[in-house]
Amino acid sequence: MSEHIVPVRIYIGVFLALMALTALTTAVAFIDLGRWNTVAALAIAVTKMFLVVLFFMHLKYSSGLTQLVLLAGFFWLAIMVTLTLSDELTRWWTQTSGSWSALLPFLLRLF
């Protein structure tokens, strides 16, 4: 399965797409989108990551086991970040403001 040979034009295409996304994300940083600047920058970064992982790192052509290993990696990263934030963002919660909407101001501080 790792034998799959990717055509050169796909590598070039992925390279050009990555360059275009880099230019785009740099340009967007100079436009005031409020909170959406962070969302846009990270969405573009995730897109670029997928392009590198799927084509340059051949994950598109790899075995399901290899794909599962990477998925597990991101799952563990999500556990680490989410549980850490669930502590950090709720430290100022009091008995009286214990509703879920009280979390919103803290979440909005993330970006």
Partner 1 sequence: MADLAAHGVHPPGFAHQFEDMEQQRDAGSLGMWVFLVTEIMFFGGLFASYIIYRALDLRAFETGSRLLDIRFGAANTAVLIGSSLTMALAIRSAQVGKPKSQIIFYLIMTMILGALFLGLKFTFEWRHDYVEHLVPGFGFAYKGPFAHGVELFFCFYFFMTGLHALHMIVGLGILTVLTIMASRGRFTEQYYAPLEISGLYWHFVDIVWIFLFPLLYLIGGRYVLGGN
2 binds partner 1 (CB under 8 A): yes
Which residues between 51 and 90 bind partner 1 (CB under 8 A)?
A: 52-53, 55-58, 62-63, 65-66, 69-70, 72-74, 76-77, 80-81, 84-85, 88-89
3-state secondary structure of 30: coil
20 binds partner 1 (CB under 8 A): no
Tell me which DSSP letter residue 59 carries. G
Report the amino acid identity of residue 15.
Answer: F
Closest CA to 13 of 47, 56, 74: 56
Rounded distance between C-alpha atoms, residue 55 and residue 96, angstroms: 52
1 binds partner 1 (CB under 8 A): yes
Among 92, 99, 102, 110, binds partner 1 (CB under 8 A): 110
For residues 6 and 78, the answer to whether their CB atoms sit within 8 Å is no
Minimum distance from CB of 81 to partner 1 (Å)? Answer: 5
Name which of 73 and 98 has its Cβ closer to partner 1: 73
Among 24, 42, 90, 104, binds partner 1 (CB under 8 A): 42
The total of other beta-carbon atoms located within 10 Å of residue 55's CB is: 19
